[in-house]
Amino acid sequence: MKTYLFKAYDKDRKKVTLTLDFENSKEFYRYLKINREIIKNILTIYFGLDKVVLSLMDVDGNEKKGFNLLVEENISILKATKKIIRDILSENEVMLISIGMNGIVDSEKGIAKISTYYHWKNINLKEIFEEEFGISVFLENGVNMIAYSQIEEHQNESFAILNIENGVGSTIVRYDREKNQINLETKEIGHIPFDFSENSLICVCGNKGCVETIMANWRIEEKIKKNYGLDLTYEEILKKANKNEKMFRKEIMDMITPLSSLILWLDILGGVEKIIITGKITYLEDFFWKELRRVIKNNLLIKEKEIEIIKREYSENIILKGALRYGIDNFINSKYFKSIMKESEKVE
C-alpha cells in the first residue's frame, strides 16, 4: 500500500489529484489535508523580555511540555536555551522549531538583528540552531506572531495589531482576496515623532519624543516616579487608575492623544477597519476605551467609517500560538518535509 502525504482540495473544497510539484501549485497550500501519521510535534519558542518560554505542541496546539527560562543579567540566554532544546529533542520527535523574537528580526534569514533587551546584534538564530540540532528553524518578530495567532479568527479580513508593552509595535495584516493569501507589514510605529517640545524624552532609538517615550509601560512607571516619587509597577498604576484615583487616572488619560494618533495614522496609511490592541494596557477599564473611541470617532477623516477596536491580552501563550501557526505554514519549507518526500518516493 502506498502511504499518502497529503490529500489536496481545490478552491471549492473538492478533492483533487495531488501534484507533488509544489513550486508551481502554491494555491493548493491552504487546502492540503495532511496525513496525521507523518506529522510530528513543533517546538515553539518565545524569546520574551523577562523570560524565554518553550512549548512543545502537536499541530492542534495541545501542549506536550512547557519550559520557562528567566532572563537574568548573568546568564547566557543562548546557551541556556540550547540546553533545554537539547533535552526536549532527546526525548521527543520534533519536526521543526518556530521562534518568536523580541526586537527587530530578519525573518527570511532567521536573524535577530537588534534586541535591546538581550544586547544582541545580528545573531543568526536559524543558522546556530539548525547547525546544532539538524532540524529546520523559522524565526519571526513577536508582534507578527501575534498577527499569525489572530488569522484564524479574522479570516479573509485585513486588520492591524498594535502592541503596547515596553516598546510600541505594529503589524498590518492584509488579506489579498484575489490570491487568497495574507501579507504582513511590520511598522516601527513606536518611533513616530510625537513630542516636539524642548523637554521631550530621548528614545531608545536615539531620537527625541517618539510615541514610545510617552506610551511604553516602563515610561509610565518612570513618569509616576518622577512626578510623585512613587515606585509602582505598571500594573499597580493601572489598578489605581481603574479605581479612579485622581492623579493616576490623569496620567493614564494622557495616553489617549498619542494612542488615538497612532490609530488614526493606521487608518489613513493602513486602511484597516479593525485594530487589535495587545499589551497590559488592555487591563484598563471602560473609562479609557470609551474616551478613546470618542476621540477616534471625532477625528476620522471619513465620518461614516467605523474602526473596531478589539482588546487582546499580550501573553506568551498568544505568541506561541502564532508561532505554531507560523511553523505549520512553513512546514513544506522544512528539512523534515523534504525527508518524508524522499521516503515516499522510495515507497513508489
Nearer residue to Zn ion within complex by CB, 216 or 292: 216
Pick the binder of Zn ion from 191, 280, 321, 325 (CB under 5 A). 191
Cα gap 43→149, rounded to integer Å = 16
Nearer residue to Zn ion within complex by CB, 195 or 273: 195
In the complex, what is the shortest distance from the CB of residue 277 to Zn ion, in angstroms, rounded to a whole number? 20
In the complex, what is the shortest distance from the CB of residue 171 to Zn ion, in angstroms, rounded to a whole number? 18
Nearer residue to Zn ion within complex by CB, 42 or 203: 203
Nearer residue to Zn ion within complex by CB, 173 or 189: 189
In the complex, what is the shortest distance from the CB of residue 82 to Zn ion, in angstroms, rounded to a whole number? 32
Site for Zn ion in 198-257 (CB under 5 A): 203, 205, 207, 210
Nearer residue to Zn ion within complex by CB, 247 or 269: 269
In the complex, what is the shortest distance from the CB of residue 24 to Zn ion, in angstroms, rounded to a whole number? 44
Q: Is 192 in the site for Zn ion (CB under 5 A)?
A: no
In the complex, what is the shortest distance from the CB of residue 197 to Zn ion, in angstroms, rounded to a whole number? 15
Interface mask toward Zn ion for 36-65; x: CB under 5 A = ------------------------------
Site residue total, Zn ion (CB under 5 A): 5
By the criterion CB under 5 A, which residues form the site for Zn ion? 191, 203, 205, 207, 210
